[in-house]
């Protein structure tokens, strides 16, 4: 039984669009997404700052 045929049309359209994007190379890997978020929101040193702050309060 192919459950795909039972899905609503908007869900099938979304899946098909995603598969087309993959086939055309229109994708981002995890590292690219994380880098973009860090750049956009200035989060490059967040982990470092949290470690330093944690050590200062000890």
Residue 31 host element (H or E):
helix 30-41
45 or 16, which is more confident? 16
Is residue 27 within 8 A of residue 21, CB to CB? The reply is: yes
Dihedral sign for Cα atoms in the order 50, 55, 56, 57: positive
58 or 12, which is more confident? 12
pLDDT recorded at residue 9? 97
Tokens encoding 39: 């750049």
56 or 16, which is more confident? 16
pLDDT in tens, 2-38: 899 999 999 999 999 999 999 999 999 988 988 888 8
SS3 content of the chain, % helix, strand, coil (to 5): 70, 0, 30
pTM, to two decimals: 0.54
């Amino acid at each position: 039984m192919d459950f795909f045929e039972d899905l609503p049309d908007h869900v099938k359209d979304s899946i098909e669009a995603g598969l087309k994007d993959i086939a055309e190379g229109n994708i981002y890997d995890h590292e690219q997404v994380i880098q973009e978020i860090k750049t956009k929101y200035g989060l490059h040193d967040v982990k470092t700052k949290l470690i330093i702050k944690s050590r200062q309060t000890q």
